[in-house]
Amino acid sequence: MASYDPLVIREADGVWLTTTDERRLLDGVASLWCNVHGHAKKEINRAISEQLERVAHVTTLGMSCDTTELLASELVSCTPGDLSHVFFSSDGSSAVEAAIKMAFQYWQQSGHSSRRKTKYLALHSAYHGDTTGAVSLGGIEYFHQLFAPILFAPIRGPLPCSYRRPEGVSEEAACEHYASQVEKLLKQFHDELAAVVMEPLVQGAAGMITHPKGFLSRVRELCDRYDVLLVCDEVATGFGRTGTLFACEQEQVTPDILCLGKGLTGGYLPMAATVARPKIYDAFLGPVAASKQFFHGHTFAGNPLAAAAALASLSLFEKEDVLRTVASKAEHLHRKLDELRDCPHVGSIRGRGLMIGIELVRDRKSKTAFDPALLLGRQVCELATELGVWIRPLGDVVILMPPLSIQESELNILADVVVRSIRTVVNGIRNSPEISSPV
C-alpha cells in the first residue's frame, strides 16, 4: 500500500472497465481470472435480479433453495465422468479446504487400515489459495514460505514444466520423466497419502506453467494403481478457460474430487463448489448416531443469488457457443503475440486457451531469469495500464486472461498494448550496463 496508486472502478461493460477518474481500461485478466461472458451481461444481471425478488439467502445446512438444487444438478451434468455430488462454499480457497478435509475424512471412514492416510502430495510451486490448508499445499516460496511454522507439510512432487526441463530431458520424454517422479513418491508414501492435489494442465499462479501433454492422465493412472485420491483444482482452469469446459476433459480424466470457483458464477458473485464421485459421498452416509457426516460448512454456502448467476452463466455457454470460440480467439492472440518472437528477452509465450503467460528472461538460450528486484513484469503491466489495458504480472510472467467473450478487435488492442509495453520496458533495460551482456 506504501506505493499504491489508486485504481477505482465506477462501472464496467463487456471487457471494459471505467474508473472514477473516467479512464477506460480493457480488463486483460478478467477481474482476477474469473469473468467469463463480460461485465454487465444482461442475462446474468437479470437472473440475479429475478432471484432477488424471490429469496436472497437461505442456508444449505439442513435445507436448501430450489435454485441452488438446480445448479447442483446442472454441475453434475456438465462435470466429467461420474462426479455426482456437490458441496458449495464461497471461494476457491474454501473449495480446496473442503476437498482436503473431505479426502481425509473419507479415509478415516473407509476402514481401519486406511486411517494412516492423512497426508497430501502437492506439486512444486503449487498454488491452491490463501487459507491455511490451501497455503500448506502451496509451494510458491514468495507467497508461502513466511507461514511455514503454522502449516502442515505435504509431500512435494515435481514441477512438471514444459518450458524449463531438466538437462537431457527432451520435450517428448518430459511427461514420462515427471510421471516417474510422482510414481516414486506414490510407491514410497501411498500408505500415508490421502490424495494428490493438483491443477490440471496449467499451474496458473506458478506463472502459467504448462504441463507436458499426458501428465494428468498418467497421474490419474498412478493414483488408481496406488489407491490414492486425485483432487483436481480447476478454480483457475475451469469454465472454458483452457478451451474445454474443464481442463480435465482434455485428457479424459475424472478426478475423485473437483474444486471449482472463480468462473462458476461467470465471475459475478462469490461461489465455489467441491464436487465428489459416488464412492466419496457414500463413505459419509450412515445413521445419525454414527456421525459420519462431513464436518464442514459455511454460512453462505449455496447462496441463491450466486446460484442464479451460475445457472445463467452455464446457459450462456450453450446459447453463445462459447467453447467453440475460445480456440480461435486464443490462436488469434498467439498470432498477434508472435511479433514478440524476435524480442531477445521474451523467453516463452505459453498457455492453453485464453490462459496465457509471457515470460521475460535475461537470457533466452539459458532461460536465466532477471533479478526479481528489477520488477520487470510489474513495469510492463504498469505501462500497459497507462496505455489502457489492465493486466497483472506474476513475477516476470505477464499474464493475459481476458473474459472469454472478448472480441477480435479487443484482442488486437490487448495484444498491441502488451507488445508495445514489453518492447518499451525491454528496450529500457537493454541499454542498462547490468543487463546488456547476457550471463
The residue ranges that bind ligand PLP (CB under 6 A) are 91-93, 96, 127-129, 199, 204-205, 233, 235-236, 261
Q: Is the CB of residue 26 less than 8 Å from the CB of residue 388?
A: yes
CB proximity list for 351: less than 8 A, separation 6 or greater: 202, 208, 210, 330, 357, 400
Q: Which residues of 85-97 are buried (b: 16+ CB within 10 A; e: fewer)?
A: bbbbbbbbbbbbb
Smallest distance from the beta carbon of 90 to ligand PLP, in angstroms? 8
Nearer to ligand PLP, 108 or 162 (CB): 162
Radius of gyration of the chain, Cα coordinates, nearest whole angstrom: 22
> At closest approach, how far in Å is the CB of 129 from ligand PLP?
3
Our CB check for ligand PLP shows the closer of 98 and 418 to be: 98
Q: At its nearest, how many Å lie between ligand PLP and the CB of residue 354? A: 15
Min separation Cβ 299 and ligand PLP, Å: 16
- The SS3 assignment for 6 reads coil
Contact partners, residue 364, CB within 8 Å, separation at least 6:
344, 345, 346, 347
Instruction: Closer to ligand PLP by CB, 129 or 240: give it.
Output: 129
C-alpha cell at position 21: 477518474
Q: How far is the CB of 233 from ligand PLP (least distance, A)?
A: 5
Q: Which is nearer to ligand PLP, 313 or 421 (CB)?
A: 313
Nearer to ligand PLP, 160 or 204 (CB): 204
Nearer to ligand PLP, 234 or 410 (CB): 234
Of residues 210 and 421, the one with the C-beta less far from ligand PLP = 210
In the complex, least distance from residue 234 CB atom to ligand PLP, rounded to whole angstroms:
8
How many helical (H) and strand (E) elements, i.e. helices and strands, does the chain have? 14, 17
Cα–Cα nearest to 246, from 77, 406, 438, 365: 77
Cβ pair 186, 178 in contact under 8 A: no
* Distance (Å, whole) CA 438 – CA 368: 9
Question: Which residue lies nearest ligand PLP, judged by its C-beta?
Answer: 92
Contact 174, 165 (CB under 8 A): yes
Least Cβ distance, residue 92 to ligand PLP (angstroms): 2
